[in-house]
């Protein structure tokens, strides 16, 4: 639970707990189609990615002001810090907000208010990664990148998320080229519900430096060899995989096999308010379900800092890595 770690796959909108959703709804005069937090919790049970995404986008209606985004980020950072997170690279979905008439500036400046004080307040260093919604058009992604230009000092990279099947990475070749030209880092969700070929495409066509999920690479031994040889980080989210039924039960998650295959695996929480746990809870769960011992957990923690976008601050990376080595399990 408490080993120092980096969180590299976390959608800030997926940290919206029912209690905060109702508090923000009240503050903003938004009516939610649920009687109370109990009823909403019950709705947090889904069978697939699309059912989850429908609720995830619907609940964003409560996020309207800079203060809302600040409160959301602070709530996450408080929980993350309590579970050993020392560094977080946080996804947000600009189009999910601009489509509702909330300017990207409100989102970025609101999150920024919390992130600016995060090291001081929570002891967590942070970065922001803006994700393109892959079920929207390539043009919309380019427009989003354009709209983000005044805020690039707060944004370190681009990602690709939402419904994967039928929306292969190559659709976003231009947006990623443009992002690269602006000096942004590149990640992409691939191989969550989509086939191994989407992982290859994310690497070769988009130039993705990390693969978010990448779970289905295990169906392609040649791809596994390549990912291992090139040390491409995979940001796995085991609790998400179980909740969205990519895997039946946690005991059957291939994390251990993936580590044994030499893949650079990290363990993350994805949408912790929806999937039953934050990243420390996830470390605990894989320890129990997969019998990963303390040295496996230390490897996962080390991997998280190795895979972090800390190239501009290697001193910090080394400091975090020494905290991992020095950690004594309780």
When asked if residue 68 is in the footprint of ligand ES4 (CB under 6 A), the reply is no
Q: Look at residue 7 and give the partner it binds from Zn ion, ligand ES4, none, a contact being a CB closer than 5 to 8 Å depending on partner kind.
A: none
Residue 162's binding partner out of Zn ion, ligand ES4, none, with CB under 5 to 8 Å set by partner kind = ligand ES4
Does 192 participate in catalysis according to the annotation?
yes
CB of 223 to ligand ES4, least distance (A): 20
Residue 313 is assigned to a ligand binding site: no
* Residues of this chain, 259-298, that bind Zn ion according to CB under 5 A: 270
Closest CA to 189 of 175, 174, 201, 173: 201
The burial class, CB within 10 Å (0-12 / 13-18 / 19+), for 166 is: exposed
What crossing angle do the helices spanning 294-306 and 279-290 adopt, rounded to 10°? Answer: 140
Q: How far is the CB of 274 from ligand ES4 (least distance, A)?
A: 8
CA distance 223 to 50: 27
Nearer to ligand ES4, 171 or 189 (CB): 189
In contact, 131 and 160? CB cutoff 8 Å: yes
Q: Does 214 bind ligand ES4 (CB under 6 A)?
A: no
Active-site residue among 7, 70, 192, 193?
A: 192
Tell me if 162 contacts ligand ES4 by CB under 6 A.
yes
- Does 11 sit near ligand ES4 (CB under 6 A)? yes
* Contact mark string toward ligand ES4, 34..53, x via CB under 6 A: ---------------x----
Spatial contact of 203 and 232, defined as CB atoms under 8 Å apart: yes
The full DSSP string for 54-98 is: HHHHHHGGG--SHHHHHHHHHHHHHHHHHTTEEEEEEEE-HHHHH
Of residues 238 through 297, those in contact with ligand ES4 by CB under 6 A are 240, 270-271
135 labeled binding residue: no
Give the nearer residue to ligand ES4 in terms of CB position, either 160 or 310. 160
**Distance between CA atoms of 142 and 254, rounded to whole angstroms?**
36
- In whole angstroms, give the CA distance from residue 301 to residue 329: 13
**Distances in whole angstroms, Cα of residue 260 to Cα of each of 66, 124, 236:** 44, 30, 15
- Contact with ligand ES4 (CB under 6 A) among 7, 70, 71, 161: 161
- Which residues from 182-201 bind ligand ES4, rule CB under 6 A? 189, 192
Indicate the residue among 184 and 244 with the shorter CB distance to ligand ES4.
244
At 164 the three-state DSSP class reads coil
The reply on whether position 89 binds Zn ion by CB under 5 A is no
| Alpha-helical segments (H) within 218-309 | 221-229, 238-243, 255-260, 272-275, 279-290, 294-306
Distance CA 17, CA 15 (A): 6
270 assigned ligand-binding residue = yes
Which DSSP category does 171 fall into? G
Q: Residue 4 or 161: which CB sits closer to ligand ES4?
A: 161
Minimum distance from residue 243 beta carbon to Zn ion (Å): 12
> Distance between CA 280 and CA 291 in Å, rounded?
16
Rank residues 179 and 246 by Cβ distance to Zn ion and give the closer one.
Answer: 246
Q: Which residues are annotated as a binding site?
A: 9, 11, 189, 270-271
Instruction: Name the residues that contact ligand ES4, by CB under 6 A.
Output: 11, 14, 49, 56, 161-162, 189, 192, 240, 270-271
Instruction: Name the residues that contact Zn ion, by CB under 5 A.
Output: 270
Q: Which residues are annotated as a binding site for Zn(2+)?
A: 9, 11, 189, 270
Catalytic residue ranges: 192
Q: Which residues are annotated as a binding site for substrate?
A: 271
């Amino acid at each position: 639970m408490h080993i120092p770690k980096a969180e590299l796959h976390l959608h800030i909108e997926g940290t919206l707990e029912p209690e905060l959703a109702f508090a923000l709804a009240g503050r903003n005069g938004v009516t939610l189609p649920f009687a109370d937090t109990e009823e909403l919790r019950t709705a947090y049970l889904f069978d697939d990615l699309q059912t989850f995404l429908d609720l995830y986008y619907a609940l964003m209606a409560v996020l309207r002001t800079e203060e809302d985004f600040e409160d959301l980020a602070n709530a996450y950072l408080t929980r993350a810090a309590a579970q050993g997170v020392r560094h977080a690279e946080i996804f947000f979905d600009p189009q999910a907000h601009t489509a509702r008439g909330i300017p990207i500036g409100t989102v970025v400046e609101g999150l920024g208010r919390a992130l600016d004080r995060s090291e001081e307040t929570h002891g967590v260093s942070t970065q922001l990664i803006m994700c393109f919604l892959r079920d929207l058009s390539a043009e919309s992604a380019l427009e989003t990148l354009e709209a983000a230009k005044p805020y690039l000092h707060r944004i370190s990279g681009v990602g690709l998320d939402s419904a994967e099947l039928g929306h292969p990475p190559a659709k976003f070749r231009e947006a990623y080229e443009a992002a690269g030209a602006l000096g942004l880092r590149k990640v992409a969700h691939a191989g969550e519900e989509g086939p191994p070929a989407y992982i290859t495409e994310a690497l070769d066509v988009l130039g993705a430096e990390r693969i978010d999920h990448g779970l289905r690479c295990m169906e392609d031994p040649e791809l596994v060899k390549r990912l291992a040889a090139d040390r491409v980080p995979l940001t796995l989210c085991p609790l998400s995989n179980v909740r969205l039924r990519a895997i039946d039960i946690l005991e059957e998650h291939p994390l251990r096999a993936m580590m044994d295959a030499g893949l650079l695996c990290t363990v993350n929480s994805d949408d912790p308010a929806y999937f039953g746990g934050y990243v420390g809870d996830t470390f605990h769960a894989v320890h129990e379900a997969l019998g990963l011992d303390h040295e496996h957990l230390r490897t996962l923690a080390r991997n998280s800092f190795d895979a972090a976008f800390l190239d501009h601050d290697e001193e910090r990376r080394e400091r975090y890595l020494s905290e991992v080595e020095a950690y004594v399990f309780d």
